[in-house]
Structure 1
Amino acid sequence: MAEIAYKTGLIGTKYSKPGINQYLISRRRLHQRLDNSLICKLTLVTAPAGYGKTTAVLDWLEKCGLSAAWVSVDSYDNNPVVFWRYVCTALDGISDGLSKDTEYVFSSLELLKANIHINILIDRLSGVQSDFLLVLDDLHLITDSSILQGLSYLIDYLPAKMHLIFISRMGPELELARHRIKWQAQGLEEKDLRFGKEEIFLFYQARGYTLENDDVKKVETYTEGWAAALVAVAMSMEDAGGGNDVIASLTRSSRDIEQYLLDEVISTWPPEKRAFAMKTCILDMLSEALCNAVTEEDNGRRMLNEINEGSGFLITLDEQNREYKYHPLFKSLLYRLLSETVPEEIADLHIKAARWFREHGFMPDAIEHLLRGGSYREALEMIEHRIDHLINRNDFGMLLSWIERLPVEFKDNSFKIAVIYALYYAETGRYDLSRQWIKRMKTLKDDNQYASSPGWNSYSRTVCTLVEVNLLIREGNVEYLPHREYIQQAGSKKPRPMCEAGP
């Protein structure tokens, strides 16, 4: 028999249940889900880093009162001997002497491959009369195929009173389909672990802070129920000696959260995955085709699947899992890294996104990315093409949100933008400002590059007249209106939409 070298010493804290935070709050809705662990072979608790997976299970174990063996997995456990020795030692608390009975198996490769240690484990634990659990925490760190196959074997022949809980950042590669069909496996995911409003209130109350409803809503919006973010906000509140100022700004918390994400998530990713995330963080919506257009790679679907299944803080936007967005805090960190490492690429990424949106008919999104990318002339042209449509909808808000971001030399030298301001200020009752912009319109009409064109002159005069008439009517200055026949004549010309104006 081939001999296997293995460590003789085990770290006690790895097969002991971790302690519980003094500020722990019980989450009854999670307890109800975890109670189902006792009618299942396996419960999978999967979510990205910092979602309170371990804490939720520990809290439930305290409340349910059942015996439980616990193994905190790390990357050094990707060795069947090491891994199963920890499992068997942890289960000594359920069946005394189990680790001693299996020890001889770990000196033989043949016995190990034949799952003799698992057979012994199953045989010994089948005699236990009361329900008990084995919890494997951070199981995503196990990649060794033989260990995963051994776990699948254990699930198949699990003793009647034994129940498994696997805590992981992603679903382990186990053969679980048949168990789910038989209702022998259940899952808790990111959406289940997010803190709701009531839980957020209790979370801070346990720390001595009583939040008003508006503050609870702000924290929920900022953190999206992510436990690690809630803790970071609480730490900032403690540092500041109170809660109101911190919740109003939430800036210090952001730094704490970003450092956590950098250490626990991004630093563990391979270069391809990091590069993809950083390039696509400029997007508010993520899809395979859009990501491929921005990165100029063909890995969009694979990368989105990997990030979604792992620790990437993707939020699904549709039931088909084809569109996503990054968690706002994660997106903020990615953008900071992008700005610090390759700031010269940001404008080009936005231009690529704008091009894709324009080709697919999403004009507002295209304009947004042109503005973010500093392509102001092209953005202005697209804004001018949207003017008539948005005016007809009385949607000045969107127009002005774009216009205000244009540099002065673009914004103040566009006849069509002057029209927008004149109409907007008349609409909102600020007649003095409307008149100032009408004056600006008339100046720009004569200074326009098309001023020598008969078509432009006719069009611009008509627009100026109609905008001024609109203001006079709103002011109630009917006696100052131009002659009715002139107005009718101007109106009957039905000037082309402003987006078509020109020679």
Structure 2
Amino acid sequence: MHEQNAVLIRAKLNTPTVTQKIIKREKVLEKLQRVIDYKLTLITAPAGSGKTTAAVSYLTEAGLPFAWLSLDESDNDPVRFWRYILASMRGVGSLSEAFWDVPVSLELIRSNIQADMVLDKLFMLPGDTVMVLDDYHLIDNEIIQSSLAYFIKYLPAHFRMMILSRKEPDLKVIREWMSGRVCKLGGRDLSFDLREIAEFFKVKGYPLTPEEISAIWNYTEGWAAGLVLAVLSMGEEDDAHAAISRFSGKNRHINQIFQDEVFDHWPDGVKDFLVRIAFLDKFCGPLCEAVTGFTDSAEYLKKLSESNSFIVNLDQEDEWFRFHHLFSDFLQQRLAKEDPTLRRELYRRAGEWYRENGLIREAIQAFIKADAYQQAFPLLVRIYLSMAQDGDYDDWLKWMDNIPPEYYEGEVRTCTGYSWLASMKNRTHDAQIWADKAQSCFERIKDGLAVGEKDYLEANVLVAKANLAFFEMDVEQVISYSKQAGRLELSRSIIIGEMNSGEVSLLKTAYGFKGRLKKVDQLGVLLVEGLPRLIGNFSAYLTVGLAECHYERNHLQTASQILNQGMENIIELGNPGAIVPSMITLAKIKRAAGDIEGALRTIDMGRRKLAGKSKTFWNYYL
């Protein structure tokens, strides 16, 4: 029996073996250089993050004497814990003889006399030494926590404690850190960066392309175990590099480690909670409560975060979180096995919470996934203008493609809106289909409309047709449809949206007929004959296009006059796609006239007008 215990002790006191085929992680080692300056070092990160490897690599390279203790759940007994502490110290050369005669009892531990006895021995010994406690997250005994906190508080200057854990230790221990006397490393400190990932796979015999390195980082977020399992998966495939594109939380190796090391450690209630919020891209306590019905959702999130259960904090207040990408895949596999009715209900609840809290885009996505189109469609109509103005076409079009026809077949403006945005994505065939839908819709409902509303909706259809004519380079049709619309009685102008998705010059867009200056010239009549009344400040795009046309012909004075006369509308509209080309053209006119300072002031004004705009790439043009 004594011999068996001795074997057990030796196994727990052995320093874990680190493979020779490992890269040297300079950034981690640099951070660990601070260990010597602190009584306590805390390395807290999820399973498989490389905590043990980092500690062994640092201590070995630094040449510091150290004692190692790998803990398990059976060490929650205070007497057993402190016997192992003493046994680990006996394995260090300078400490080997000092601790054989130290007795251990529960009474001594409770009264902190046990810690005092060990401290007294340490004070009499020379030289720097580090004591490492690995897997400390398995210790939850309050007597142990209290006695260890006391021990750390009074450690001599030459003795340091290093704790490796999947979660933050008891507050009594980390109180030292809160007062600035602890060196702390977390999961982000241990995560591999792009350079390290490249080197890691090269050492393993798989040199990767930059695109593959980025893909691996996106999947794993630099998680060490994820990288190891990716290598393992590549070795099992005939085409190792093709395996990268298939790597996810559904991988059987990843699945197994999440199952064994994370998921199975939680009680059934927490498991249900995790699965039911698996579809959320990010989450907070109130949202999770609305989705799951668990009133203690915020407490669940707190515990999961503190235990480093692959939940990532998104703010300093610890209110919003997200799952690690691979863990999200793992959980969504389990959600996919649930009854479809339950999944739809979870999405619907999320949609309701998003809508009530003003998160309209998130609400639309959730309602669509819940097949709750009656709730999704009004939100799509509501958000159209802001998305069209921001040039944010893709999501709106994608969402509309999911809405059944019965929800929009009586909505002329929805159909013209789709046609407009589709044209901005150069989907002219789809734009024509939806313009035709708008026409058919108008024909069905026009007899029941009041005169003002009838004219307004008819004008929307005509403007949609004029828009398509731009993309077909048919200036006669543009003018014809615009004039027809201009003859209608309109109480308000037609809302369009951003007409320039990223060109520095309007002449490069369909609305500048791709630089066909003669066609642009013909549009000048529209500025005189009512286009501003028809589409309001959106006529500013035509103003800029005409000015650019005159600039290209070296009619600098005419171009300047057009811009100066239209500048109020351009600024009031506030769309970057009009502001940037106008400011650049005006600046070029000033530069051509020798007014360099005036040109620079114009560019500076353009930058100020772009402040707060969502599409930041426009700033690079100025």
| Same-fold status (TM-score > 0.5) | yes
Contact 2:46 2:309 in 1 (8 A): yes
- Note the C-alpha offset of 1:290: 1.8
Over the matched positions of the two proteins, sequence identity in percent amounts to: 28
How many Å separate the matches in 2 of 1:232 and 1:253?
12
How many Å separate the matches in 2 of 1:209 and 1:413?
58
Higher relative contact order by CA 8 Å / sep ≥ 6: 1 or 2? 1
Q: Deviations over 1:272-308 (max 9, x none)?
A: 3223222222222212222222223332321221111
Q: Deviations over 1:354-389 (max 9, x none)?
A: 111111222111101101212123212321233334
> Residue in 2 aligned with 1:101?
101
Q: 1:413 to 1:193 in 2, by over 3 A?
A: farther
How many Å separate the matches in 2 of 1:35 and 1:213?
31
How many Å separate the matches in 1 of 2:80 and 2:156?
23
Q: 1:181 to 1:301 in 2, by over 3 A?
A: closer
> Residue in 2 aligned with 1:359?
356
Q: 1:430 to 1:32 in 2, by over 3 A?
A: closer
> Residue in 2 aligned with 1:443?
440
Q: Deviations over 1:439-473 (max 9, x none)?
A: 3322233345x863446644432222221122224
> Residue in 2 aligned with 1:158?
155
Q: Deviations over 1:410-434 (max 9, x none)?
A: 6788644532343234435554543
Contact 2:248 2:326 in 1 (8 A): no
> Residue in 2 aligned with 1:216?
213
Q: Deviations over 1:33-66 (max 9, x none)?
A: 2222112111011111111111111111221112
For structure 2, which runs of at least 5 residues remain unmatched after alignment? 497-622
Matched, 1:339 2:336: yes
Q: 1:258 to 1:343 in 2, by over 3 A?
A: farther
Residues 483-502 of structure 1 aligned to structure 2 (within 5 Å): 486-490=484-488, 492-494=490-492
Q: 1:55 to 1:428 in 2, by over 3 A?
A: closer
Contact 2:79 2:106 in 1 (8 A): no
- Note the C-alpha offset of 1:158: 1.8
Paired letter, 2:243: V
> Residue in 2 aligned with 1:3?
none
- Note the C-alpha offset of 1:216: 1.4
Q: Secondary structure at the match of 2:163?
A: strand
Residues 431-470 of structure 1 aligned to structure 2 (within 5 Å): 431-447=428-444, 452-454=448-450, 457-470=454-467
Residue from 394, 399, 411 that aligns with 1:397: 394
How many Å separate the matches in 2 of 1:307 and 1:53?
19
Matched, 1:126 2:123: yes
> Residue in 2 aligned with 1:203?
200
> Residue in 2 aligned with 1:141?
138
Q: 1:437 to 1:160 in 2, by over 3 A?
A: closer
Paired letter, 2:268: P
Q: 1:447 to 1:201 in 2, by over 3 A?
A: same
How many Å separate the matches in 1 of 2:121 and 2:449?
96
Contact 2:289 2:296 in 1 (8 A): yes
Paired letter, 2:201: Y
Q: 1:289 to 1:252 in 2, by over 3 A?
A: closer
Residue from 252, 256, 270 that aligns with 1:255: 252
Q: Secondary structure at the match of 1:388?
A: helix
Q: Secondary structure at the match of 1:175?
A: helix
Residue from 277, 285, 302 that aligns with 1:280: 277
Contact 2:456 2:489 in 1 (8 A): no
Q: Secondary structure at the match of 1:135?
A: strand
Q: 1:59 to 1:342 in 2, by over 3 A?
A: farther
Q: Mean Cα displacement is larger for which, 153-162 or 208-217?
A: 153-162
Matched, 1:289 2:286: yes
Contact 1:232 1:253 in 2 (8 A): no
How many Å separate the matches in 2 of 1:430 and 1:44?
56
> Residue in 2 aligned with 1:55?
53
> Residue in 2 aligned with 1:387?
384
> Residue in 1 aligned with 2:530?
none
How many Å separate the matches in 2 of 1:214 and 1:483?
48
Contact 2:249 2:326 in 1 (8 A): no
- Note the C-alpha offset of 1:14: 0.7
- Note the C-alpha offset of 1:182: 6.2
Q: Deviations over 1:254-280 (max 9, x none)?
A: 332222111111111123322322222
Structure 1 vs Structure 2 CA RMSD? 2.8
- Note the C-alpha offset of 1:112: 4.3
Residue from 39, 42, 47 that aligns with 1:41: 39
> Residue in 1 aligned with 2:582?
none
Contact 1:43 1:187 in 2 (8 A): yes
Q: Deviations over 1:288-346 (max 9, x none)?
A: 22222222333232122111111322222222222221111112222222232454322
Contact 1:235 1:253 in 2 (8 A): no
Q: Secondary structure at the match of 2:90?
A: helix
How many Å separate the matches in 1 of 2:447 and 2:280?
40
Q: Secondary structure at the match of 2:317?
A: coil
Contact 1:237 1:243 in 2 (8 A): yes
- Note the C-alpha offset of 1:175: 2.6
Q: Secondary structure at the match of 2:24?
A: coil
Contact 1:31 1:60 in 2 (8 A): yes
Task: Give the TM-score normalised by the residue count of structure 1.
Answer: 0.88
Q: Secondary structure at the match of 2:236?
A: helix
- Note the C-alpha offset of 1:393: 3.7
Paired letter, 2:71: V
Contact 1:465 1:490 in 2 (8 A): no
Q: Mean Cα displacement is larger for which, 138-147 or 86-95?
A: 86-95
Q: 1:493 to 1:28 in 2, by over 3 A?
A: same
Q: 1:288 to 1:126 in 2, by over 3 A?
A: same
Q: 1:26 to 1:86 in 2, by over 3 A?
A: same
How many Å separate the matches in 2 of 1:116 and 1:126?
15
How many Å separate the matches in 1 of 2:25 and 2:461?
64
Matched, 1:419 2:420: no
Contact 2:145 2:172 in 1 (8 A): no
Q: Mean Cα displacement is larger for which, 26-35 or 236-245?
A: 236-245
Paired letter, 2:54: A
Residue from 11, 14, 32 that aligns with 1:13: 11
Paired letter, 1:140: H
Contact 1:148 1:174 in 2 (8 A): no
Task: Give the TM-score normalised by the residue count of structure 2.
Answer: 0.72
Q: 1:452 to 1:376 in 2, by over 3 A?
A: same
- Note the C-alpha offset of 1:194: 1.2
